[in-house]
Chains A and B, each alone.
Chain A
Amino acid sequence: MRYELKGKKNILQYCNEEEEEVEEEEEEENPFAILYENAIFDSEEIFTHYKMKEKNLLEYHKQKQNPLPNFPELVIYNIIMKIPAEYLQKYRCVCKLWHEIISSKKFIAQNFIHSITELLIVVKTYPHLKAISLRMDEKELDFKLEKLDFAGMRMGCIRSSCNGLVLIHDPKIEGKLNVINFLTRCMVKLPRCPSGCPHKKCGVALGFSPSTKEYKVVHMYADGFGYEIFTLGCSDNKWKCIPGPFKVPFERPFNLDKFRWSDPVTIHGQVLHWYVSSKEYVISMDVNDETPKKTYLPTLGEEIDRKRYSLLEMGGYLSVVYNVSNIQIDVWILKDFAAQVWFKKHSILAKSVNFTTLKIPSLPNKCKHSLPDFRKLVALSSLRNGEVIMFKHKTNTNFGFIYLYDIKHMELKRFALKIRGQSKVVPHRSSLICWKTKSELLPREYI
């Protein structure tokens, strides 16, 4: 008995959407983008070093390719779906069919599944902020850097990212927030918060509720005000206020004079976790039900020093990275949010670690090849789906070296790259989500 070749349907039936006209720009790369003295990098040479690696890789790919055989349409669709969004944005002009596919909402959602996490690092340079994108190398413990293009416009500080959409300060109007997609150049401006928060010392994030398909900005300035929540595309264009997590003042675990809310960790854009300077718990909120609750931290058998742990997203879970001592760092993950079950994923032990430092040819080896004091390593973010952790070395000066740690191979690598103390690091996955008017933001079908 013979079976038919799959994929005889018209390729558009796989996306099944109306065509939308979207404009697109072909950009010129400036390979010598200059970063100012106080920037993240020690020198322009390092930036160029990381950029050259990418160029060589692209050259390699270009040489090898033969034309494809006549694949069935399902296969073609499957291949296009896995091309990274930033290339697809340029490939809209390949032909009308590709334009239609790339604009299809279902395709955008399917393409997003394959989007890889990069880190957006905001660099406070003068006169304007700059943002750098950091991407892990697929195989090695290494990364590449790229300057984020904002079409020559000023950029505001990036606060949060969800499904390719980025929550960002308006560069010109203080205290105003915007949501943009860098790739498709779409933007929506948010009305000012009722609390009048200038957004200098507050905790805000963009989240997505998968059941209602709504994008919500959740903002916490002072818990006396409560949470301010804004749903993108809402008809009344107003923020909603809901009570904060603490019912009575003495419940607060922090010192009211010194504490400032900071941006929460987002897990799949759905659950937000705020650090509240407590040894026992963090405050969590599911964007779906908008109800703040306490998530108790893992019991470590000793008292957690509230200054020695970082909250990260790791492979789809909340993670507590705890500096146990100068030779040990424990990594815990919240395996079950509802049941509050923690699991110790890994211990970074100085004695088991394979330590390397990356050499840049013209840089002198000023530092010894010795392991850093683990108490001084601050976890900034995870990469490669939770397999790699990026640390910053906390020093007396404002700058500290970046370290990457590979969990599976227990490899710790120090990079000849420093990051400023206050630099904001935002995990980001690019997508092709686009809209022409606010009304397209709600209701939504996929993401």
Chain B
Amino acid sequence: MASSSTSVVVSNKEKENKNTKKVTLKSSDGESFEVDESVAMESQTIKHIIEDGCANNEIPLPNVTSGILSRVIEYCKKHKEAAGESEPSVTSYTSNSTTNPLTEWDTEFVKVDQNTLFDLILAANYLDIKGLLDLTCKTVADMMKGKTPQEIRETFHIKNDYTPEEEAEVRKENQWAFE
């Protein structure tokens, strides 16, 4: 009995050294989330905090509410799991053949109301999670299809700094350029 309890203690210690280390993230509204360190490190921001040795107790995230943080953690968990299994994606300027095995899951993940989507973008930007930022920005970009330039200005709060003459020049019929 004594020997088996010793072996249990040893293996727990081993486990700790082997990356099932946890960190606690605290949202702006005071809720705490315990996650695997490896999952939390999907966020470059959190990664730097941990590496700088500042993550003793909890990591406060004053810019992220609990509702959004829980979703972000869900995203990171799912993608961390999948990362071990899939091929590294091939991206160059010419390739769009990135192999993302989670395309369907991602599509469902962003089926949320617009406010949640915008909050996710801000969180992904703040926490520096590239995959989530790309995914949410792509979703917003898709909403832009079919908008007129004026509708784009309204959506992005842009002031038109073209005079009507200048704008007409930009819009006027293109001649095919001959060499």
Contacts and interface: CB of A to CB of B under 8 A. Distances in A.
A64 B117 CA distance: 13
Contacts of B90: 316
Interface string B16-44: 00000000000000000000000000000
Interface string B112-151: 0010001001100110100001100110111111110101
B157 A163 contact: no
Contact of B93 (A61, A70, A447): A447
Interface stretch (A42-50, A82-90, A346-354, A359-367): A82-90
Contact of A93 (B92, B114, B167): B167
- Most chain B CB within 10 A, of A75, A79, A81, A98, is at A79
B146 A61 contact: yes
A114 B144 CA distance: 15
Nearest to B141: A82
Interface string B93-105: 1111100000000
A9 to B, nearest CB: 13
B125 A5 contact: yes
B62 A2 contact: yes
A432 to B, nearest CB: 13
A165 to B, nearest CB: 12
B46 to A, nearest CB: 9
Contacts of A269: 94
Contact of B149 (A90, A96, A163, A210): A90
A293 interface: no
B49 interface: yes
B54 A75 contact: no
A385 interface: yes
Given A1-B49, A74-B125, A188-B179, A92 B170 contact: yes
Contacts of A115: 96
Contact of A210 (B92, B133, B146, B152): B92
Contacts, number: 177
B148 to A, nearest CB: 8
B157 A70 contact: yes
A100 to B, nearest CB: 11
Contacts of A79: 137, 140-141, 144
Contacts of B177: 185-187, 435-436
B93 A78 contact: no
A68 B178 CA distance: 41
Interface stretch (B1-9, B69-77, B158-166): B158-166
A82 B135 CA distance: 10
Interface in A404-447: 429, 435-438, 446-447
A7 B125 contact: yes
Contact of A187 (B97, B157, B179): B179
B176 A153 contact: yes
Interface residues of A, number: 77
A199 interface: no
Nearest to B167: A93
B137 A78 contact: yes
A1 to B, nearest CB: 5
Given A189-B179, A210-B92, A75 B121 contact: yes
Contacts of B158: 94-95, 97-98
Nearest to A116: B96
Contacts of B118: 68-69, 71
B121 A447 contact: no
Contact of B144 (A87, A208, A210): A87
Contact of B176 (A26, A62, A151, A210): A151
B57 interface: no
Interface string A212-238: 000000000000000000000000000
Contacts of B13: none
A93 B149 contact: yes
Contact of A429 (B96, B146, B179): B96
B128 A6 contact: yes
B160 A94 contact: yes
Contacts of B94: 112, 163, 208, 210, 268-270, 447
Interface in A1-53: 1-3, 5-7, 23-26
Given A82-B138, A96-B162, A115-B96, A91 B152 contact: yes
A65 interface: yes
Contacts of A3: 45, 48-49, 126
Given A75-B125, A78-B133, A87-B145, A94 B95 contact: no
A406 to B, nearest CB: 13
A68 B179 contact: no
A62 B154 CA distance: 12
B12 interface: no
A109 interface: yes
A92 B171 CA distance: 8
B111 interface: no
Instruction: Count chain B CB atoms within 10 A of each CB in A3, A69, A117, A153 and give the residue with the most.
Output: A3
Contact of A65 (B63, B126, B155, B172): B155
A268 B92 CA distance: 10
A-B pairs, top 5 by smallest CB distance, nearest first, are A58-B146, A82-B141, A316-B97, A185-B174, A25-B174
Interface of B: 45, 48-49, 52, 54, 62-63, 90-97, 114, 118, 121-122, 125-126, 128, 133-134, 137-138, 140-147, 149, 151-162, 167, 169-179
Given A3-B45, A75-B125, A76-B156, 9 more contacts: A3-B126, A5-B125, A61-B145, A70-B157, A71-B122, A94-B160, A97-B158, A269-B94, A437-B179
11 contacts: A7-B125, A57-B146, A62-B147, A64-B143, A69-B118, A71-B121, A82-B137, A95-B160, A153-B176, A187-B177, A268-B92
